[in-house]
Amino acid sequence: MRRALELAARGPARGVNPQVGCVLLAPDGRTVAEGWHRGAGTPHAEVDALSRLGADEARGLTAVVTLEPCDHTGRTGPCSEALLAAGVARVVYAVDDPGDESSGGGARLLGAGVAVERGVLADEAAELVRRWLVPARTGRPFVTVKWASSLDGRAAAADGSSRWITGTAARQHVHEVRADHDAILVGTGTVLADDPSLTARGDAGELLADQPVPVVVGDRPVPADARLHRHPRELVQVAGHDPAAALDELWRRGVRSVLVEGGPTTASAFVRAGLVDDYLVYLAPTLIGGPRTALDDLGVASVDDQRRLRVASVTPLGTDLLIVARDDTGSTP
């Protein structure tokens, strides 16, 4: 299964399809073939592995797959049917497919007499496809809220200036995070105050190959000369101030992951609504003081109401720290 996870990681992390890997084993444990999913419209991992074998060469083999084989016809056929037609005798998979249409492959295989084992390295597999699994379970894009702050939690000085609190390593990492999301979202306040480009750029300022869709939420118009109009992706504007409504609109547009980079007002709205899956906090060893905190009111009237998070990782970036935190009380894995 760990080899299948390595194969799965070769596939694209963005988009509507999960990363999936498959290893076909002989009865003596020897690896016979391997495969992985290379993106929407391409063969699924199981079919990719089976395609490397001749007729009847898969009969009696064990298929080890990181995700439950699908049981529906989309741009490709059901993997459950492909495994049955190939004569695979046993299927071992890590994570159940939560999709209403795509799930059920395990039950179908079991009903056809195939030995099925589920849950092997489930936690590791769920972590790999977390950015796909959360949207599949919740029906909304995966939401990452990011901010940079001083040790005392300030995102800007009293006059509003914030360039730069963190160092170059942290700032470059932000661009890599942008490129890893389908969309990047800010409020109109940030657009009017900072005129951001919201592009993902390399060390020399060049545009990276993957660019997030720029999204602006709010009722005030984006100025005609704003840099966002020169973004390589078309600007999306969502009226109103309802985070859930904004995510619904982005979901309809095929967006499955959103990086919220707006100021305290926008970030706090997503936190209050319980719509944040990952928190990325770039913490600089500096003190600023004053009123410009990274978040606004979260509806926490008492310390008993505080929002406890779990620190998933801490990574040094130059002189700064990147802290990734999650809310384990929510519905996300």
Catalytic residues: 46
Q: Are 196 and 270 in contact (CB under 8 A)?
A: no
Residue in 34, 31, 36 with CA at minimum distance from that of residue 18: 36
Residue in 170, 150, 201 with CA at minimum distance from that of residue 315: 170
* Cis? peptide before 251, omega within 30° of 0: no
Instruction: Specify burial of residue 210 (Cβ count, 10 A radius: 0-12, 13-18, 19+).
Output: middle
Task: Tell me if residue 91 falls in helix, strand or coil.
Answer: strand
Task: Tell me if residue 260 falls in helix, strand or coil.
Answer: strand
Q: What is the DSSP letter of 93?
A: E
Report the distance separating Cα 57 and Cα 45, nearest Å. Answer: 17
Q: Where are the beta strands (DSSP E) in the chain?
A: 21-25, 31-36, 62-67, 90-95, 115-118, 142-150, 183-187, 213-217, 236-238, 257-260, 278-284, 310-317, 320-326
The two structure tokens encoding residue 29:
């444990």
Q: What is the DSSP letter of 208?
A: P
